[in-house]
Amino acid sequence: MAAALLSAYALPSHAQQNFPTRPLRVVVFLPPGGAADVLARVMAQKLGDLLGQTVVVDNRPGSGGVIGTNVVAKAQPDGYTLLHSGITMHGIGPHIYKGLPYDPVKDFAPVILSATMPVFMMSHSQVPVKTVSEAVALAKSKPNAVSWGSPGTGSAPHMVGELFKVVTAIPSPHIPYKGSGTGAPAFASGEVQLFFDAVAGHQAFIKSGRVRALAVTSAARVSAYPDVPTMKEAGFGRVDGLVWYGFQAPAGTPRPVINRLNAESNRVLAMPDVKEKLTAVSIETAGGTPEEFTRFIAAELGKWGPVVKVAGAKVD
């Protein structure tokens, strides 16, 4: 309440009504090149057109996403600095990281759930497996020799991988990368044998044959990859989880500003060309109200806590 009152004084009502009057910044807590960055840039361009102001994407990777997230938590609550939030820092991270410099719930104002995407389990082409079962058998036959990567500790793909280890009891080490932008080419070069990630950053490598998609965590097969089975079809139905992203503002951002950002973001997500561009990289647009996004975040925090505990996942 106090933060909201302070923001009202900091941003007069006429400024709220005329918002925005200058460029906006969207902070992405991961490096360029991955699904989060692709989605943020598509959203930023279209949102800028609707708002009549430039929307700049500011990549702030580091410390598993804490650095970029903290930038927004400490920013002026005026709507000009937004976090491209995700499951890493607002679903899983709070259960893994201790002593965060911000409160993942109290220090943010949810704006909109922008998109979701399934996690793909992939293998390098030089690894002699074509199915999930074959990958499990290989990993068990060579304890600790088959490593698997993810776009970072605490990410949804990381936790899906940890859950996979719990379900299959494979003795395989986890190798975290600093986002898909660095992890995808490292995986394609053969640094690790398996990888769990959203597919956006890996498409070129799958197309070239350097990487093979084994299964996907969605309930149904992905239209862009109709030959890739779901984890349930592959015989591992307990392995699930979606990557998700959305915009959040600093706590105390005036409600009229939140409403404007939400309304224009919903318009962007409904655009046919946006849907087509994102569907091509297996990103499913979402949308909805700030209240719905708030409830969604609460549900994700509740879901992943027990998974982290069972998997015994910790910051590397």
**Model pLDDT, residue 153:** 82
Q: How far apart are the first and last CA of the chain?
A: 37
| Cβ atoms of 294 and 112 closer than 8 Å | no
Annotate 241-267 with b (16+ C-beta within 10 A) or e (fewer): bbbbbbbbbbbbbbeebbebbbebbbe
Which of 228, 215, 221 is CA-nearest to residue 167? 215
CA dist 223 → 196, 227, 257, 280 (Å): 19, 9, 36, 9
At 31, the amino acid letter reads P
In the chain, the domains with their CATH numbers are 2-116+244-311 (3.40.190.150), 120-216 (3.40.190.10)
Query: pLDDT by residue (tens digit) across 133-191?
Result: 999 999 999 999 999 999 988 888 999 999 999 899 999 999 999 888 899 999 999 99
Rounded to whole angstroms, how far apart are CA atoms 51 and 232? Answer: 43
Q: How confident is the model at residue 234 (pLDDT cuts 50, 70, 90)?
A: very high
| Nearest of 152, 163, 160, 186 to residue 28 by alpha carbon | 152
What is the pTM assigned to this prediction? 0.81
Question: Is 313's pLDDT higher than 60?
Answer: yes
Give yes or no for residue 3 having a pLDDT over 60.
Answer: no
What Cα–Cα distance (Å) separates residue 142 from each residue in 71, 172, 173, 287? 43, 9, 12, 45
Q: d(Cα 160, Cα 180) in Å, to the nearest integer?
A: 15
Q: How would residue 5 be classed by pLDDT, with cut points 50, 70 and 90? A: very low
The predicted pLDDT at position 7 comes to 44
How high is the pLDDT of residue 15? Answer: 60
What pLDDT was estimated at residue 1? Answer: 43
Identify any residues that bridge with 123 across adjacent strands, giving them in sequence order: 194, 212
Reported as a pLDDT band with limits 50, 70 and 90, residue 70 is very high
β 24-28/55-59 pair status: parallel
Give the pLDDT of residue 8: 43
Cα 218 from chain centre: 15
The arithmetic mean of pLDDT across residues 199-214, rounded, is 95
Percent of the chain past pLDDT 90, that is, above it, reads 75
